[in-house]
Amino acid sequence: MILAGELAAGEHLHEQALATRLGTSRGPVREAIRGLERIGLVVTVVNQGSYVRQVSEAEALELYEIRALLTGQSCAILARTVTPEQRRALRDLAQGMATAHEADDAAGYFALNRQFHEALLGFAGNARAARICGELGNELNLFRRRALSVAQNMRQSNAEHAAMLDAIEAGGPARARAAGERHIRGGKNRFTATRTISEAPDTGDLPQAGPNTARKQDQGRTTNGTIQEAPDPGGRRRPRAAERGGVRPS
């Protein structure tokens, strides 16, 4: 639900509501939340609840850097080890993305893009790196949402994919690595360029509190103590207040 955008970034996770919605009880929901917390999709404040993680721009840039490294390394490895079947599979995925782009099928494009990167990392033989890269991509989706569905960006991304494959097939490890890193950093730049679009809080139908509602907040001590990040619920903590008066102007 988080990745699908049904739960907005910063949104409070109401355990009972989720349980009834999923047709189960609070126990399984809590266990799931603990798992999401560990992979960084959710932040929990003791005695207050859990919130969908809000990725700051600085953090997003960090994630891009890690992905660039891992992707570049995978390309470098593939330049030496790629098999004809793998080449064909990657080319097919790239071709599929091109047609999806022409058909203006953003959803299909994203699915294929994910498969492409997953296959690339997987072929390189480091399953764990592939898993990490996928999780980082998930977190990035929390931030960028669909701000990247600009057609121009899709085309540019496709060109970079082709360059990566060319470098893998004929360029040698160093060039392949550079192409891989360039692609991710290109995505990073596209993200930075279109960031202002998603800057507007797009919480959909949720009532939105003002940016400086007085709140105790306790400086966000999380249960595992790793990410001391202010949850900033964004909307209401107690539904009652929002439903009755809406935003309380300080």
What does 63 interact with, of DNA, a copy of itself, none (CB < 5 to 8 A by kind)? a copy of itself
What does 164 interact with, of a copy of itself, DNA, none (CB < 5 to 8 A by kind)? none
What does 70 interact with, of DNA, a copy of itself, none (CB < 5 to 8 A by kind)? a copy of itself
197-216 positions binding DNA, by CB under 7 A? 215-216
In the complex with DNA, the residue whose CB is nearer, 30 or 146, is: 30
Taking the complex as a whole, the smallest distance from the CB of residue 175 to a copy of itself amounts, in Å, to 17
Count CA atoms within 13 Å of residue 2 on its CB side.
27
In the complex with DNA, the residue whose CB is nearer, 86 or 213, is: 213
CA end-to-end distance (rounded Å), the chain: 32
Candidates 14, 15, 30, 150; binder of a copy of itself (CB under 8 A) is 30
- The packing angle between helices 57-81 and 106-123, to 10°, is 60
Candidates 5, 15, 115, 203; binder of DNA (CB under 7 A) is 15
Candidates 17, 25, 38, 102; binder of a copy of itself (CB under 8 A) is 38
Stretch that binds DNA, among 24-32, 71-79, 137-145, 162-170 (CB under 7 A): 24-32
33-72 positions binding DNA, by CB under 7 A? 44, 46-50
223-242 positions binding DNA, by CB under 7 A? 223, 237-241
List contacts with a copy of itself (CB under 8 A): 27, 30-32, 34-39, 59, 62-63, 65-66, 69-70, 73, 125-129, 131-132, 136, 224, 226
